[in-house]
Structure 1
Amino acid sequence: MTTKLKVVVIGGGSSYTPELIEGFIKRYEEFPIEELYLVDIEPGHEKLETVGALAKRMIEKANLPIDVHLTLDRREAIKNAAFVTTQIRVGMLDARSRDEKIPLKYGLLGQETTGAGGFAKALRTIPVILDICHDIEELSPHAFLLNFTNPAGIVTEAVTKYTKVKTIGLCNLPIGTKMSIAKMMDVDVSKVDIEMVGINHLNWTTKVWIEGKEITSEVLDIMSGAKGVTVKNIPDIEWDPEFIQSVGMIPCSYLRYYYMKDKMIEKQLQDFETKGTRADEVRKVEEELFKLYKNPNLNSKPIQLEKRGGAYYSEAAVQLMTSIYNNKKDIQIVNVKNNGLISCLPDDVSVEVNCVIDSEGPTPLQLKTTLPPHIRGLLQIVKAYEELTVEAAVHGDIQAGLQALTIHPLVGSAELAKKIFKDILDKNKEYLPQFNKSNDNNGGIK
């Protein structure tokens, strides 16, 4: 650790940042930040100033001695940091909108973290994250990188494979799952423990305990035909009772895209006709939020931020930093290198599992569950897609990208994969220089 506790937020102009500031304020006694750097790029300068001013007002209201810096100089910020968090969106909401619309054009699901949309986002994001990692390796080699940027699991895998940075992938879904189960069972969340197994946005809660008593089957019974165990950006379509019982585990909300593909696509196409894509909704929410943020009298996180879809983000991020800083040895669910934990997956891929968190970072816990064939099969194919996506993003590998899209269950056709890949490359030229090796307009796809 550095002499001063310095935390860097890359993507500091994000509308999520007040959520994070609230978390730092709440946990200040355990995690006494002295220097907080909010970093952004020139196109996000105005948002950075707006969010940064609100952050300063929140900290002043809490009467805490946290020195907040706003900067476009990433290297200055990273130097001697203890923790670096990333919450970036390469291409901003315009790119997200394209990611969602391109698959819809072909009657496929358009979503920003999985399927063809998640693939496009990964191609843009991984090179930028690796560039940030090179700065960390040079300027702050002992720092922990906490990546909240989606697709979090694929980004984490790229960092573990191609850098020496101590990285942990972070998602609010595990904490959200615990919160949902606590609400369902009418108990305080502190009494709930879960085992979650899988990869980011493709995982299953295999065990649920309340005060040490296993209640997994009770939760499955309640979930059968129920709504309410989902996140804000995923349509809350009821699970089929017989199907949920056959799974034998609690699927994360993103698994609706796989298990109820036709219904989810139908719902998304209906929504697209009436209110546009999720990116269009988020744009409206962000416009409202930034109007609020500009109010010089606002000095707390506005409740409207809950519409943004990042509930419990600060809880997940700040809890993780606090546990590392204090060597807590508590259990959290994060994205880490597999290293043989899930035997049906390669050792060097990222997985999302229960880990003990101490001053050295996360150590995965031995699984209490053997994965049955129906879980193992889906997990292996989507992980293979992720492995190929990393190679495509890092090396500008057209063949790897084409195979990644073809085998993904939400694409599943070589003909469609080729058309979609062409569109992705064409619409994202300025963000995909790794594919500019070919002279033709589509980066090598004819």
Structure 2
Amino acid sequence: MRLVVLGGGGFRVPLVYGALLTDRGEGRVDEVVLYDTDPARSAAIARVLADQAAADPAAAPRVRVATDLDAALHGADFVFSAIRVGGLAGRAADERVALAEGVLGQETVGAGGIAYGLRTLPVVDHIARRVAAVAPDAWFINFTNPAGLVTEAMSRHLGDRVIGICDSPVGLGRRVARVLGVDPGSAEVDYVGLNHLGWLRGLRVDGRDVLPDLFASTALLEGFEEGRLFGADWLRSLGCVPNEYLHYYYFNRETVRAYREAALTRGAFLHRQQDRFYARVGDPAVPALTTWNAVRAEREATYMAENREAAGAGERDEASLTASGGYEEVALALMRAIARDERTTLVLNVRNRAALPGLDADAVIETPCRVDAAGAHPIPADPLPGHALGLVTTVKAVEREVIAAADGASRARAVKAFALHPLVDSVSVARRLVAGYTEVHPGLGYLR
């Protein structure tokens, strides 16, 4: 099988390739095509993949670098997308503009997520059209952020053949299972919402929901990352465990203050770190995989540092830093289920159909799905409680305003998207955000 990776020069591509190296089954991926608009980055990542393959070169998928999109897509069985329009410099600019207005600039949540979406949607719309024309039988696995928004926009061209993935729900489920002493592989999660806006409502083992055991013990509640991040009292009040990204909503003032006081925003930190990485790995004398591993360890240790500081949650625990099974494992399980009919259940971003009451059939949600050779089928979910449904429907309305703004090149719709978001507190601020983002991102000049 041929896997095409869009954003093939991205830093986390070796995670995907590493997962592929563990697959020895029939019909496994035997060719990986890296496509990136920056050939130097693709070449650097290809060096890392070559080091990974060195342990067993005969069994490792072949790697090819492509510089033409249509040529890369030709003959694809699966397309994996992790592009970043505007690069990390764009992410850092998103943060600066938002924080100057006193609102959150995180890349998937609030003003930063809207800005990222506005410059990403025209690009992914073109990609979706080319996939439909050049590789209509390919399955498209989307990891490009904002993942739910991008997946919904692409589904208009690719239908149910585009599926969004994220590592947050699986990571949350595993952390809760571990603190309860449960084998994560045997636990069935009741999780639903939007990407980066969902709640773990149950964890069933042999048909019994063990999540009440968590809420009965303060020690257990404070024994994993989300428990320390949100606090035992708040989790008990909710009666569920929120995705870590909901910290931006529930503790917005504290998080914005921590971001404003940080020496570097997350985007600025990663921009500086990865510029150094690609410059180093461009030197053939530098050991590519060793360098990548060291940079990845630093990256993981500093993940959501501002949120942990705002909550007084301390450093990330060792289990979270060393655990495998992130989005790359979700991607591999998804491909195996479709290509080989190895039926499984995964939390994915798919069109709702009729799974979650309160949202229409075309709304992309994040929810457990049964996956087989015919694709991903969302499992019917119990309704969300009022507070959660209100937040989900509001953010979904914002996502659709972002799509409408991109489709119509409409500055007015862009202002509306910002103004309607729960984390942007003024229409005047929304207008200044659009002006500020248009100034720092020339590509947003399409908004009229």
**TM-score between both structures, scaled by the size of structure 2:** 0.88
Q: State the alpha-carbon separation in 2 of the partners of residues 262 and 72 from structure 1.
A: 44
- 1:432 partnered with 2:424: no
**Consecutive unaligned residues in structure 2, runs of 5 or more:** 304-323
Describe the superposition over 1:310-359 as per-residue Cα deviations: whole angstroms up to 9, x where unpaired.
97121122121122111122100000111122221122111001000111
Describe the superposition over 1:126-158 as per-residue Cα deviations: whole angstroms up to 9, x where unpaired.
111111111111111010110100000000111
Q: Which letter maps to 2:389? A: R
Which residue in 1 is equivalent to 2:233? 242
Which residue in 2 is equivalent to 1:66? 61
Shift of the alpha carbon at 1:67? Answer: 2.0
C-alpha spacing 1:73/1:67, structure 2 compared with 1 (3 Å): same
Which residue in 1 is equivalent to 2:309? none
Q: State the alpha-carbon separation in 1 of the partners of residues 282 and 232 from structure 2.
A: 44
Q: State the alpha-carbon separation in 1 of the partners of residues 230 and 365 from structure 2.
A: 25
C-alpha spacing 1:94/1:165, structure 2 compared with 1 (3 Å): same
Q: State the alpha-carbon separation in 2 of the partners of residues 170 and 76 from structure 1.
A: 25
Q: State the alpha-carbon separation in 2 of the partners of residues 303 and 209 from structure 1.
A: 37
Q: Which letter maps to 2:135? A: S
Q: Note the 1:122-141 alignment, pairs <5 A.
A: 122-141=117-136
Which residue in 1 is equivalent to 2:142? 147
Which residue in 2 is equivalent to 1:332? 346
Shift of the alpha carbon at 1:13? Answer: 0.5
- 1:416 partnered with 2:429: yes
Q: Which of residues 408, 425, 429 in structure 2 aligns to 1:395?
A: 408
Q: State the alpha-carbon separation in 2 of the partners of residues 426 and 221 from structure 1.
A: 51
Q: Which of residues 169, 176, 181 in structure 1 aligns to 2:176?
A: 181
- 1:91 partnered with 2:86: yes
| More off after superposition, 282-291 vs 204-213 | 282-291
Which residue in 2 is equivalent to 1:366? 380
C-alpha spacing 1:266/1:383, structure 2 compared with 1 (3 Å): same
C-alpha spacing 1:205/1:15, structure 2 compared with 1 (3 Å): same
Q: Which of residues 254, 261, 269 in structure 2 aligns to 1:281?
A: 269
Q: Which letter maps to 1:317? A: A
**Consecutive unaligned residues in structure 1, runs of 5 or more:** 231-235, 436-442
Contact 1:90 1:125 in 2 (8 A): yes
Q: State the alpha-carbon separation in 2 of the partners of residues 335 and 90 from structure 1.
A: 21
| More off after superposition, 158-167 vs 303-312 | 303-312
How many residue pairs get matched?
Answer: 420
Q: Which of residues 88, 94, 116 in structure 1 aligns to 2:111?
A: 116
Q: State the alpha-carbon separation in 2 of the partners of residues 323 and 336 from structure 1.
A: 16
Shift of the alpha carbon at 1:412? Answer: 2.7
Q: Which letter maps to 1:50? A: A
C-alpha spacing 1:316/1:308, structure 2 compared with 1 (3 Å): farther
Q: Which of residues 97, 100, 105 in structure 2 aligns to 1:102?
A: 97
Q: State the alpha-carbon separation in 2 of the partners of residues 211 and 303 from structure 1.
A: 40
Contact 2:110 2:423 in 1 (8 A): yes
C-alpha spacing 1:90/1:70, structure 2 compared with 1 (3 Å): same
Q: Which of residues 253, 261, 265 in structure 2 aligns to 1:270?
A: 261
Which residue in 2 is equivalent to 1:156? 151
Q: Which letter maps to 2:23? A: R
Describe the superposition over 1:214-239 as per-residue Cα deviations: whole angstroms up to 9, x where unpaired.
11122334578737435xxxxx9632
Report the 3-state secondary structure (helix = DSSP H, G, I; strand = E; otherwise coil) of the residue aligned with 1:70. strand
C-alpha spacing 1:391/1:306, structure 2 compared with 1 (3 Å): farther
Describe the superposition over 1:289-320 as per-residue Cα deviations: whole angstroms up to 9, x where unpaired.
44368556555762542443597121122121
Q: Which of residues 24, 43, 58 in structure 2 aligns to 1:49?
A: 43
Q: State the alpha-carbon separation in 2 of the partners of residues 351 and 253 from structure 1.
A: 17
C-alpha spacing 1:222/1:107, structure 2 compared with 1 (3 Å): farther
Contact 2:143 2:165 in 1 (8 A): yes
Larger relative helix fraction: 2
Q: Note the 1:249-328 alignment, pairs <5 A.
A: 249-271=240-262, 275-287=263-275, 289-290=277-278, 291=280, 297-298=287-288, 302=293, 304-309=295-300, 312-328=326-342
Contact 2:160 2:375 in 1 (8 A): no
Q: State the alpha-carbon separation in 2 of the partners of residues 85 and 221 from structure 1.
A: 41
Shift of the alpha carbon at 1:23? Answer: 0.5
| More off after superposition, 204-213 vs 382-391 | 204-213
| More off after superposition, 93-102 vs 282-291 | 282-291
Q: Which letter maps to 1:39? A: Y
Contact 2:160 2:351 in 1 (8 A): no
Contact 1:120 1:424 in 2 (8 A): yes
Q: Which of residues 379, 384, 399 in structure 2 aligns to 1:386?
A: 399
Contact 2:401 2:417 in 1 (8 A): yes
Q: State the alpha-carbon separation in 2 of the partners of residues 40 and 7 from structure 1.
A: 14
| More off after superposition, 16-25 vs 298-307 | 298-307
Q: Which letter maps to 2:343? A: K
C-alpha spacing 1:315/1:206, structure 2 compared with 1 (3 Å): same
Report the 3-state secondary structure (helix = DSSP H, G, I; strand = E; otherwise coil) of the residue aligned with 2:233. helix
Describe the superposition over 1:246-276 as per-residue Cα deviations: whole angstroms up to 9, x where unpaired.
21111000001111111111211121xxx21
C-alpha spacing 1:33/1:87, structure 2 compared with 1 (3 Å): same
C-alpha spacing 1:358/1:102, structure 2 compared with 1 (3 Å): same
Q: Identical aligned pairs, as a percentage?
A: 28
**TM-score between both structures, scaled by the size of structure 1:** 0.88
Q: State the alpha-carbon separation in 2 of the partners of residues 379 and 366 from structure 1.
A: 17
Contact 1:30 1:322 in 2 (8 A): no
- 1:25 partnered with 2:21: yes
C-alpha spacing 1:227/1:99, structure 2 compared with 1 (3 Å): farther
Report the 3-state secondary structure (helix = DSSP H, G, I; strand = E; otherwise coil) of the residue aligned with 2:230. coil
Q: State the alpha-carbon separation in 2 of the partners of residues 183 and 401 from structure 1.
A: 42
Which residue in 1 is equivalent to 2:35? 39
